[in-house]
Amino acid sequence: MRYSIQHRSKNRLHINLVKSRLNDADADALYYALIDAPAVRAVSVKARTARVVLQTSGDVEALLTYMDHLDYTTDAAKENVPAQSARALNAEYSEKLIMMILTRSIKRLLLPMPIRRFFHYKNALPYILQGLKTLIIERRVDVTVLDATAVAAALLTGDFGTAGSTTFLLKIGELLEEWTYKKSVGDLAQSLSLNVTKVWRVEGEKPELVAIDRIKAGDVIRVGMGNMIPLDGVVRSGVAMVNQAALTGESVAVAKKEGLSVYAGTVVEEGELDITIDSVSGDTRYDKIMQMIASSENMAADSQNKASELADKLVPFSFIGAALTYALTRNISRTTAVLMVDYSCALKLSMPISVLSAMREAGKNKITVKGGKFLELFSEADTIVFDKTGTLTKATPTLKEVIVMDGNDETEMLRIAACLEEHFPHSMANAVVRAARQRGISHDEMHSDVEYIVAHGIVSTIDEKRVIIGSYHFAFEDEKVKASDEALRRIADIPDRYSRLYLAIDGRLAAVIVIEDPIKEDAADIVGELKKLGINHIVMMTGDSEKTAAAVAKAAGIDEYYSEVLPEDKARFVEAEKAKGRKVVMVGDGINDSPALSAADVGIAMKEGADIAAEIADITLSGHELAQLVTLKKLSDALMREMKVHGRVILTVNSALMIAGAFGVLAPAPAALLHNTSTVAICLRSMGDLLEA
């Protein structure tokens, strides 16, 4: 890509492309090529001026290198553009709005009055029929009945100008509201895009770990337990239980076997699948996310539902106001002006847009929120339960030492450990795999199928020998692994601050993998900040030893902790806290955290952990920093404040418009115009960011 840097500051980059302007297709392709580039937080592409503004963080030099080699005009680049991009959406609705205004202007200038009256009746008929349907068939009184009454009253009194202006403004209002809502949903969908970078491709019987952009239609990929299915396809072989809650809302995992379809964004809970890929374009993933947003019951916060209920309850008062106006003034124009104003539109539209925008803003901060109610619940939370490994401790622990037993070769033991651990991503497993790669140790598949036993370890077979790797409890208590006295002494000498993985072959301890898992530098500060923000009960739970747990809890400033716990123990603790009336947040990253994540009022997963944890969780933190929790808490609190303020503004403004209409200050058309304008203005305000940059 040819470009010049116009301006560069600490967190912002202004780029001029070496061309005068971009067409919409190239502008979209460039946007989607840059949004996931190194160090990029946000992208703005100006098609008419061929300028790009990048909000950056991290290694900007890597970003510039990426841009030097980027070609956004290729078919491959354009495949990543969703079928309905924000740019295309804006162009579509801008054209619709212009055409509506032009059509009305031409009719008023060129058509004689009799024909114009025909169009007045034609345009009014759908509103009147909808109002009658709502009132007579559905037996409800809502804003559609108000609109129908206002239009019908104007026609019956021969005020065709008011009738025409009213139906025109109603159409404009509907168009602007639809545009605003779809833009909010589209922005959110972009922030929820899948973030799978590598997959296991199967050629013959040997899987190979490759970048996802190397996958093409017809390729076969293997997805194991706890991992996300990144692309749509059909099961070629294998049997698995797949969690499809993010797309279908089903609470129970669905069995998948040969010949059945599987979808991007779903997660394998149990088993393993070989999948023949149908499509690698961005459209299917984006469209699935759009469907999820549109259909998810989790979208609505309780405050949002209450606002919607209040809007319905206020509709009869609009009729009462109109009836009183007519009774006192006998003026149909004033009565119609009162009917043209309602509370329902603004309350029912601005509240969900506020929620969608907050979720989109969370996405800008690398936080994925699956529904507005989870932001509300997090705002109300008074208890947080932390897992230790990969949550309070660093997401990238490092291998400290491989202690070999019985004369085993250190390189071979690390090779075996990495070969097993790479199938079940977790921060500890990643440390083993990373260490093997850094030492140049190749670990091609050397084992039979691997089995993951939650919160314990991994079992497989190599050269007809049973091989296990996992916790002390798993190795010595469940598997009854034998170890010499010397081996036990060497284990006892390992400092308490280190975590350990025990590798055994044929029932004998072969090696101990020592992992340095230091606490995150900001953990204590974040715990303190959360307490200041109203979360007064903070707990740590871990499967590690008492000594390790005590050291981490002390360093993090956490007074209450539990060690050597199993997944079911975490879930039981969460349920017990909820039974006491507390609002509980669970933060974890592993498959073993899944029961507690599901049990909590709000489950929060660290993205670098297991995909199943991220799937079950209500919120996912995609970055490495616990500071995202503070951002999330502030965002949640700000959303609740904004929804309350907007509710008060909507009630005040529309009440004032009703009073103005009743006293003859506003005619029906200006009343409708001001009502729709205020609704759109509040919705536009709802689309803004809640947190200061």
3-state secondary structure 81-96: CCCCCHHHHHHHHHHH
Residue ranges of the alpha helices (H) in 22-159? 24-34, 60-68, 75-78, 86-110, 113-132, 143-156
User: CA 157, 159, 161 angle in degrees (round to 5)?
Assistant: 165
Q: What CA–CA distance (Å, rounded) separates 36 from 39?
A: 8
The CATH number of the domain covering residues in 398-516: 3.40.1110.10
Residue pair 379/639 in contact (Cβ under 8 Å)? The answer is: yes
Residue pair 333/296 in contact (Cβ under 8 Å)? The answer is: no
What does the pLDDT read at residue 296?
Answer: 47
Q: What is the pLDDT of residues 636-693, one digit of tens each?
A: 999 999 989 998 999 999 899 999 999 999 888 788 788 878 887 888 888 788 886 4
Greater model confidence, 188 or 466: 466
CATH of 367-394+519-622, one of 3.40.630.30, 3.40.50.1000, 3.40.50.720, 2.102.10.10: 3.40.50.1000
377 falls in which pLDDT band (50, 70, 90)?
very high
For residue 496 the two structure tokens come to 């308490």
Q: With the C-alpha atoms ordered 224, 229, 234, 240, is the resulting torsion angle positive or negative? A: positive
Domain residue ranges in the chain: 3-81, 90-189+298-354+638-686, 198-285+292-297, 367-394+519-622, 398-516
Q: What number of CA atoms fall less than 13 Å from residue 48's CA on the CB side?
A: 1
Q: What number of CA atoms fall less than 13 Å from residue 290's CA on the CB side?
A: 19
- Phi then psi dihedrals of residue 376, to 5 deg: -65, -45
What does the pLDDT read at residue 80?
Answer: 65
The CATH number of the domain covering residues in 198-285+292-297: 2.70.150.10
Q: What CA–CA distance (Å, rounded) separates 334 from 666?
A: 8
CATH architecture of 3-81: 2-Layer Sandwich (3.30)
How many other β-carbons are positioned within 10 Å of the β-carbon of residue 497? 15
Coil, helix or strand at residue 422: coil
Percent of the chain topping pLDDT 90: 25
Helices (H) and strands (E) in the chain, counts: 24, 24
pTM over 0.85: no
Mean pLDDT of the chain: 82
Q: Are strands 398-404 and 451-453 parallel, antiparallel or unpaired?
A: unpaired
How many other β-carbons are positioned within 10 Å of the β-carbon of residue 46? 14
For residue 147 the two structure tokens come to 């609109």
Candidates 505, 508, 506; CA nearest to 413 is 505
Q: What CA–CA distance (Å, rounded) separates 642 from 219?
A: 48
What does the pLDDT read at residue 613?
Answer: 62
